[in-house]
Structure 1
Amino acid sequence: MRFLFAVLFVFSTAAQAETIQVAVAANFTAPMNRIIENFTRATGHTVKTAFGATGKFYAQIKNGAPFDILLAADNETPAKLEAEELTQAGSRFTYAIGTLVLWSADATFITDGAEVLNRNQFNKLAIANPKTAPYGAAALQVMKQLQVEQLLAPKLVQGESITQAYQFISSGNAELGFIALSQVFKEGKVANGSAWIVPAELHNPIRQDAVILKHGKDNAAAMALMEYLQSESARAIIREYGYQF
């Protein structure tokens, strides 16, 4: 019934197409681009996106950035914005639960999971900035749980977002690093390089919440996109990139 309502809702807005601005966590870039393509085809609405670190988006929203929706990499930032009355009440929900992966562009580099960290036979380990990127914060939690935090601290290089952390690794500037599984996941497996999918119990759950912001309050296109994100069509795409619900 909910899916039927969502389909009827998004199609009913097609006659009054609008443009909305959406801030999207960098880890969700690939699935979001596909979701937007389908959503635009179904509704006629135009979605303009900015991809980046959740912490930076928070600062921009606080300073008046005209985003209509935030798709965060955590649940804390949307909840904080909600408490600060900068969102549409009741619009927040978890659109995905992220998975952290230790990844190397070298297909032979990670062969025995977390032991590669204990061996410490590399020069650089990339993570996203833990102050602004939840996946970076999760990476620090993992290293602490594995008791390698102090050992590896001198080798850490931080990207401004999970996208930059990935670039450090894919370019060879860092031999390995912690990124989002969605960045290297395709057709049910890690598409290239070598990887260790981090057990969920080693860090806090990466619950990624979406929320309509004050600028998008009562915006029909914003509400339509939020409904579409909860449709089975969108969730099928989200699952393809290794996310859970």
Structure 2
Amino acid sequence: MKKFLLSILLTTSVIFADKINIAVAANVSYAIEELKVEFKKIHPDIDIEITLGSSGKLTAQIQNGAPYGLFMAADMLYPEALYNKKIATTKPIVYAQGELAYLSIKPIDFSKGIAIVNDNSISKIAIANPKTAPYGAATIEAMKNSNVYESAKSKFVFGESISQTVSYTITAADLGFIAKSSLYSPKMAHYKENVNWASVDTSLYAPIKQGIVLLKYGENNSDYKAFYDFILSDRAKKIFIKYGYTK
């Protein structure tokens, strides 16, 4: 009986030995599947479990002991905080730079720029929660720099992550401020640039530099380092560019 139980334990450990758990900012959800496929070509024996969410909420989970060995955030501040607390074992490195876009399911006149938020036809504006989602914070920054924040803030509908904000934009709002990367998803391909969406002027907000760190939970597992190295590789960069990120 003891030999039987030992056999089960050993078999179970083998099954789960090569599975890594990674926390990923919601804006990367549109590119992550293709990144996983490309990674598996190099490391077919490593399985990846992805948890998506806002960077703030994922950081809170990590600080409370969530079993993630790597964190792909939507900014540099959250991974920097984890590094300063010695929860991250590597200094944050930029793996991609994101951009903001506005989206409407109905054709809209984007020639007005961000001032479109004050249009009478816009009664609800979806944005990501600026307290937990860096893309939400960038949206607020862009509006304040354009002097439209005070007049528009009563229209806000908040999503807890950028993916939830996209959902609100296409179901419950007249306009949404989203990650440009989401527009490169096959499910979003029917929305046309300068008809349904446009890029937000990048001079209105600080560059959205997205940081990656290895975490203490996975420091003795080389599989996490393999995925970390892959995300910083030229092969991964090509995928990020395909999904609207800049180098």
The TM-score, its normalising length taken from structure 2, stands at 0.87
Letter of the 2:47 counterpart? T
% identical equivalent positions: 35
Q: Corresponding residue for 2:66? A: 65
Residue by residue, what CA displacement relative to the aligned partner does 1:174-231 show, whole Å, maximum 9, x if unpaired? 01110000001369x9751512201221111111001001101131110000111122
Residue by residue, what CA displacement relative to the aligned partner does 1:128-161 show, whole Å, maximum 9, x if unpaired? 0000000000000111111111111111000011
Task: Please give the alpha-carbon distance, in whole angstroms, between the structure 2 residues aligned to 1:202 and 1:196.
Answer: 14
Q: Corresponding residue for 2:205? A: 203
Contact 1:184/1:191 (8 A) holds in 2: no
Task: Please give the alpha-carbon distance, in whole angstroms, between the structure 2 residues aligned to 1:186 and 1:53.
Answer: 19
Letter of the 1:241 counterpart? Y
Q: Corresponding residue for 1:109? A: 108
* CA apart distance, 1:83: 0.3
Task: Please give the alpha-carbon distance, in whole angstroms, between the structure 2 residues aligned to 1:170 and 1:74.
Answer: 25
Contact 2:30/2:185 (8 A) holds in 1: no
Structure number with greater Rg is 2
* CA apart distance, 1:71: 0.2
Q: Which runs of 5+ in 2 are unaligned?
A: 1-16
Task: Please give the alpha-carbon distance, in whole angstroms, between the structure 2 residues aligned to 1:42 and 1:19.
Answer: 15
> Equivalent residues in 2 for 1:119-134 (5 A)?
119-134=119-134
Question: More helix per residue: 1 or 2?
Answer: 2
Aligned length: 226
Q: Corresponding residue for 2:237? A: 235
Contact 1:104/1:110 (8 A) holds in 2: no
Q: Which runs of 5+ in 1 are unaligned?
A: 1-16
1:156 paired to 2:156? yes
The TM-score, its normalising length taken from structure 1, stands at 0.87
Q: Which aligned segments of 4 or more residues in structure 1 are displaced greater than 6 angstroms?
A: none
Alignment RMSD: 1.9
Letter of the 2:184 counterpart? F
